[in-house]
Structure 1
Amino acid sequence: MGGWMAAVGLWGIAYLLGSVPTGYLAGYLLQGIDIRTEGSGSTGATNVLRTLGKGPAIAVLLIDVLKGVAAIFLIPALSQPAVQDFLLNQNWAADPTQVLALPWLEVGAGLAALLGHSRSLWLGFTGGKSVATGLGVLLALAWPVGLAALGVFGLSLAITRIVSVSSILAAIAVPLLMVGTQQPLAYQLFSLAAGLYVIWRHRSNIERLLAGVEPRLGQKL
């Protein structure tokens, strides 16, 4: 029982990491605005670029990626008994990896971070599209897949200049890359679930694409 409680606790911490509202904080601290009322209403780096400019957008992008990386890296760190004892007053003495295999712990943390980014506890369960945080998770789980997905995104962006199209294509490519590189089953299932979630988060973008009014990189809505 202790191991399962530890696993849920670790996933909760990953959710809180993902929930850090980087884009919102950038808008509030730099211009005193609620970025959710600007542009697309997203708190992600693309809307920050449209609203605040390149510098803040790059900072938000990097921090959002690091949130995903940290969500995965915290698993081995917080699974150490000494750390558990310090943080949890010995309530989680059992190592969660004895109950759940490490890949499943990791993908649970990854999904929690994605959910936190798009449904932030601090923003009334609103947020971004989870693309940057998803990239961070991928880089931490299987960096070759993460880099390949980034390559798909970059190539598409260079051709189309449309961030949403590039994000959707990268989300489609990730499960194929996971299977092609023979990653653990947990990673493959994660990539499928996360890819579908990212595409679902782009519903409004897809509607604008079909209507022919989706802005290109640097353009305002």
Structure 2
Amino acid sequence: MLGAVLILFGYLCGSLSAAIIVARLMGLGDPREAGSGNPGTTNMLRLGGRTAAALTLLGDALKGVLPVLAAHLAGAAPWVLGATGLAAFIGHLYPVFFGFRGGKGVATGLGVIIAWAWPAGLATLGTWLAVAIVTRYASLSALVSFLIAPLYLVWLGAGPILAGAMAVMTALTYWRHRSNIANLLAGREGKISLSSRSKND
């Protein structure tokens, strides 16, 4: 029973789209209908500037962290920890409160990994930053860091259950980034820029 409550809590937290909430509060409209159409940090940077992007990043990360921390505090079994984090991630992708039209889950996924096992989370975040600095592609940073994340979880002792849940998150991340992958292969993917907004999230 407790496991089901925690998993549901994770999904509902994930369904609170920070980008849409911040955009409404700042009078920016619906980020799903402007820019890249993705309710995420990069698109909010384009639409509302650094403050909007920072609030979106923080909100999306926290909704991955908080449900998993609640599961930790409740003494949940590893499978419940994994399922709760995965539910928060899926909630971001398919939010019940916003017509199941969500984002790509990178910030929420990073929040989940950090809450599962912070050393693996920091290693994943470090990989994202390294790839972003070298290539300036936000999408490629997400794809590379999430691909390696299950290995970090195993290597740093988080266990196979959490690594398996992360593998599912990775597969979903690749699915949600399929247009970015096509753009990367075609050389059309926009790069990260604080002054000139990137074309894609």
Q: TM-score under structure 2 normalisation?
A: 0.92
- Classify the secondary structure of the residue corresponding to 1:31: coil
Match of 1:207 in 2: 182
Task: Map 1:173-192 onto structure 2 (within 5 A).
Answer: 173-192=148-167
Q: Which runs of 5+ in 2 are unaligned?
A: none
Q: CA deviation at 1:64?
A: 0.9
CA distance, structure 1, for counterparts of residue 181 and residue 22 of structure 2: 26
Q: Which moved more, 1:29-38 or 1:133-142?
A: 29-38
Matching residue's letter, 1:126: R
State which of 8, 13, 19 in structure 2 corresponds to 1:12: 8
Identity %: 38
Match of 2:140 in 1: 165
Query: 8 Å contact 1:19–1:116 — kept in the other structure?
Result: yes
CA distance, structure 2, for counterparts of residue 70 and residue 154 of structure 1: 23
Match of 1:126 in 2: 101
Query: 8 Å contact 2:19–2:56 — kept in the other structure?
Result: yes
Matching residue's letter, 2:12: L
**For each residue in 1:34-86, what CA deviation from the matched residue of structure 2 results, as whole angstroms up to 9, or x when unmatched?**
11011221111111112111111011101111111101011244x4xxxxxxx
C-alpha distance 210-76 of structure 1, shift in aligned 2 (>3 A) = closer
CA distance, structure 2, for counterparts of residue 32 and residue 54 of structure 1: 13
CA distance, structure 2, for counterparts of residue 71 and residue 41 of structure 1: 27
Alignment of 1:193 with 2:168, yes or no, is yes
Task: Map 1:1-221 onto structure 2 (within 5 A).
Answer: 5-77=1-73, 79=74, 102-218=77-193, 219-221=197-199
The runs of at least 4 consecutive aligned structure 1 residues that moved more than 6 Å come to: none
CA distance, structure 2, for counterparts of residue 34 and residue 63 of structure 1: 17
Query: 8 Å contact 1:39–1:220 — kept in the other structure?
Result: no
CA distance, structure 2, for counterparts of residue 70 and residue 180 of structure 1: 24
C-alpha distance 220-183 of structure 1, shift in aligned 2 (>3 A) = closer
Aligned pair count reads: 196
Matching residue's letter, 1:49: L
Q: CA deviation at 1:176?
A: 1.5
Q: Which runs of 5+ in 1 are unaligned?
A: 80-96
Matching residue's letter, 1:19: S
Matching residue's letter, 2:60: D
RMSD: 1.4
Query: 8 Å contact 2:72–2:81 — kept in the other structure?
Result: no
CA distance, structure 2, for counterparts of residue 156 and residue 175 of structure 1: 17
